[in-house]
Structure 1
Amino acid sequence: MKLNFFILLSFFSLFSFGQDLAILKYKGGGDWYSNPTALTNLIKFCNENIETQLTEKPETVEAGSVDIFRFPLLHMTGHGNVFFEADDVTNLRRYLESGGFLHIDDNYGMQPYIIRELKKIFPNQELEELPSTHPIFTAAFEFKDGLPKIHEHDGKRPQAFGLYNKERLVVLFTFESDLGDGWEDQEVHNDSEEVRLKALQMGANIIKYAFEN
């Protein structure tokens, strides 16, 4: 009971006193820490272009910690294995059902693991592909064709998948796009300014949508 009260109090405080985002640290051996410059650049872009007031350097929180309830948006990325223990699953489910939002950006190789682990959180749901008409693609900048392609990887089309809680999108899984690589410092991947701008604009859409829905 005390833990539940603390969670509710933390979450209430979050929406009463500000909005921010955090990096989700997970178990399983995957590199949750990849793309170290990505979120800092995205935050700067959002503060300059969509009137957010995000903290310049995002915090890192663990999946099983009550600290996740301080943030309306969690960002998760990596290349390899992901594993949620029972306490992580319970914590993340409560977070998402309480109004939180999780963005998972596949940096390459996460897909089979994240599908397995999300099943633990919402066992009665399958990831659904978002249509290009979904409002997340026009939240701040318009993407008429849906999720932009940032990196080639396997050459497949970029796809955005979602999970819902009572018709509210609570999990966004971006696949074959690699937005985070486009958010990184330019010299990391040598992306063109056009490609980086698309990635940053789509990232801004995700943040704006998560904060307003």
Structure 2
Amino acid sequence: MSLALVANLIDTIARYTILPVAPRGSIVPLGSRRILEHPFVWFTGHFPLAFTRQERTNLREYVDRGGFIVIDDHNHDIDGEFHKTALEEIATVFGPDALEEIPNDHPLYTKFFEFDRGPPATSHELNGWGDNLLHRHLYGVLRGDRIGLLYSNKDYTSEWSFGPDTKRFIAVDPTRFGVNLVVYALTS
């Protein structure tokens, strides 16, 4: 995981909300039972993904107990190995039909900031990097009406991996969607 992403997301939450945040965040292995202590988990990667039995158990329990995990394809490539293996692992843990398209009018997109058209596009999509596609939806594993796992092809990890001080040079802060994700995790 990009430490710049962690710092930037923490800065964004502190800047726009009154939520208490740990100044350095917390990096916890998926195989550790400590993951169950955290309401929000960000998971990203480039390479083929293969969970251990313990990681699968923890992931399932984490989602079933109300946790919210974002899995972000850092390659932004639907033909890439991370994407293919992540979908296989999600199917193994939650079942072959568990991953559903999240409608663009889902409450996730209005939890704090308004994203009227669904998930915000990234510069990686707009510049044609990765698979050269603009992904119009995110996907999720639902528990009732609540999203427990959110899967993204959009590569928010790269989009948000810049120093927090850089925000003063950006007209619209792209990390605002991260606030929605965290607020959703804490209130849904």
Matching residue's letter, 2:36: F
1:84 corresponds in structure 2 to 51
By how many angstroms is 1:103 displaced?
Answer: 0.6
Q: Which runs of 5+ in 1 are unaligned?
A: 1-32
Q: Which runs of 5+ in 2 are unaligned?
A: none
1:206 corresponds in structure 2 to 181
Report if the CA contact (8 A) 1:93-1:121 is conserved. yes
Matching residue's letter, 2:143: N
What TM-score results when the alignment is normalised by the length of structure 1? 0.76
3-state DSSP of counterpart to 1:37 = helix
Runs of 4+ in structure 1 displaced over 6 angstroms?
Answer: none
Q: Matches of residues 147-158 of structure 1 in structure 2 within 5 Å?
A: 147-150=119-122, 151-152=124-125, 153=129, 154-158=131-135
In 2, the alpha carbon distance for the partners of 1:169 and 1:91 equals 17
What TM-score results when the alignment is normalised by the length of structure 2? 0.85
Give per-residue Cα distances to partners, 1:73-128, cap 9 Å, x unaligned. Answer: 11001112111111211121111101111111111142111100111210153321
In 1, the alpha carbon distance for the partners of 2:46 and 2:96 equals 26
**RCO (CA 8 Å, sep 6+): is it higher in 1 or 2?**
2
Report if the CA contact (8 A) 2:4-2:163 is conserved. no
1:22 corresponds in structure 2 to none
Structure 1 residue 100 and structure 2 residue 67: aligned? yes
Matching residue's letter, 2:150: L
Matching residue's letter, 1:104: I
What is the total number of aligned residue pairs between the two structures? 175
2:160 corresponds in structure 1 to 183
1:19 corresponds in structure 2 to none
Percent pairwise identity: 29
CA RMSD of aligned residues (A): 2.1
By how many angstroms is 1:155 displaced?
Answer: 2.2
In 2, the alpha carbon distance for the partners of 1:161 and 1:78 equals 17
